[in-house]
């Protein structure tokens, strides 16, 4: 599981390297974020657009991209049933 800052830099680099090394990677989309960027031509790229594009570039090829809710649901489904007694 990967969370943190910044989606288009550190997260992307870490996820790509982990996938290249054979790890199965999940990026928690709402536990990552980035900043707005100004392109070389002066164009403004809002943070949310940068974030979504970075996630789209990772999803399916280098990682699964899931929300916190989806991760928690998966973990709950994997948890052993409580013992009675």
Q: Provide, rounded to the nearest whole percent, the portion of the chain with pLDDT above 90.
A: 92
Assigned token pair, 78: 């994997």
Q: How far apart (Å, rounded) are the C-alpha atoms in residues 50 and 57? A: 11
Angle, CA of 20, 69 and 50, to the nearest 5°: 55
Q: Mean pLDDT, to the nearest integer, of 11-21? A: 98
Given this model, what pLDDT does residue 49 score? 98
The yes-or-no verdict on residue 10 having pLDDT over 90 is yes
CATH code for residues 2-78 = 3.40.50.850
Given this model, what pLDDT does residue 85 score? 65
Q: Mean pLDDT, to the nearest integer, of 33-49? A: 98
> Domain extents for the chain?
2-78
Q: Where do the H-state alpha helices sit in 21-80?
A: 47-58, 68-78
Confidence (pTM) = 0.88
Can you list the positions of beta strands (E) in 1-85?
2-5, 26-33, 37-38, 44-45, 64-66
Over the stretch 44-63, which tens digit does the pLDDT of each residue have?
999 999 999 999 999 999 99
């Amino acid at each position: 599981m990967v969370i943190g800052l910044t989606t288009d830099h550190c997260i992307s680099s870490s996820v790509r390297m982990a996938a290249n090394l054979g790890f199965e990677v999940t990026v928690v989309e709402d536990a990552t974020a980035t900043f707005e960027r100004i392109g070389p031509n002066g164009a403004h790229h809002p943070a949310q657009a940068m974030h979504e594009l970075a996630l789209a570039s990772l999803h399916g090829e280098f990682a699964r991209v899931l929300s916190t809710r989806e991760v928690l649901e998966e973990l709950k489904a994997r948890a052993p049933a409580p013992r009675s007694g």
